[in-house]
Amino acid sequence: MKKKALLLALALAGSTSAHAQTTNQPEPAREVTNDTTPTEKNAVAAEINKLTIIESLQAIKKDPTTVKFHSAMCYDMAMPPAYTTFSCPTCGTETQYHTQSYQGEVANRVAYLSRSLGQIKAKTAVDFSDFCSKCSNDSDDQPELKFNASCIDCGQSFNWTANTIKELEQLPLLFTGFPVTEVDQGHIGEQKIAPEKLSEYLSNRLLCQACREKHGLK
């Protein structure tokens, strides 16, 4: 709590380098009262939310056993069709892919990802253009699902990708609530991430490289 109050006081005082180890005495944290403006209240809430996420990531890195990993029961599924259709969200062009290929897995996740991006704590946008026969500008035969995120700490924009089916299966980890206490690993036999990799995975998609280093999450 002392660490959180210290960082919050610095943020509200206009500091751009809030850190728990600073030797300067911060101004007392501004009290949220009925006179506090909506903008100020939103700033306080955002700062507290950011600190909660960072502290949770630090705690997971220190001791991954604090998070409970569990799996659902596995059921036999009907054989899917051989091909699936990727409908480009930008231009509407339809492209056929083998259902069980990486491209087919992306095609089947377009609506889900577009609908779920708002659940990610870092503001994130997804670029599906590599999978559209009309929009793709890459000559490489291997398309990439590209993401652009804004660091939850400094706001700097950074990029990351999901290039394999395994990485696609890990994407729901980003919708985990903070502080993280448990993680749904999906169906039994489809463990998607090792506990000791969870903090790194989330940090790399919520914080830029500089802020990961600053908070000991690199």
Based on the domain organization, do 10 and 114 belong to the same domain?
no
Give the pLDDT confidence score for residue 148 in this predicted structure. 98
Based on the domain organization, do 58 and 100 belong to the same domain?
no
Q: Which domain holds residue 19?
A: 2-65
- CA distances, 19 to each of 44, 48, 99, 139, 159 (Å): 16, 14, 48, 44, 25
Based on the domain organization, do 11 and 46 belong to the same domain?
yes
Give the pLDDT confidence score for residue 162 in this predicted structure. 96
Give the pLDDT confidence score for residue 68 in this predicted structure. 93
Instruction: Please give the model's pTM, rounded to 2 decimal places.
Output: 0.78
Total domains in the fold of the chain: 2
Residue 141: CB atoms within 10 Å: 5
Domain boundary among the residues 47, 65, 83 is at 65
Q: Are 201 and 64 in contact (CB under 8 A)?
A: no
Residue type (1 letter), 148: N
pLDDT in tens, the chain (218 residues): 444 554 444 444 443 333 333 333 333 444 545 556 666 666 767 788 999 999 999 999 999 999 998 877 665 567 889 999 999 999 999 999 999 999 999 999 999 999 999 999 999 999 999 999 999 986 567 899 999 999 999 999 999 999 999 999 999 999 999 999 999 887 655 568 899 999 999 999 999 999 999 999 98
Residue 104: CB atoms within 10 Å: 22
Based on the domain organization, do 6 and 106 belong to the same domain?
no
Q: Are 50 and 11 in contact (CB under 8 A)?
A: no
Based on the domain organization, do 37 and 93 belong to the same domain?
no
Q: Are 217 and 61 in contact (CB under 8 A)?
A: yes
Radius of gyration for the chain, computed over Cα atoms and rounded to the nearest angstrom: 20
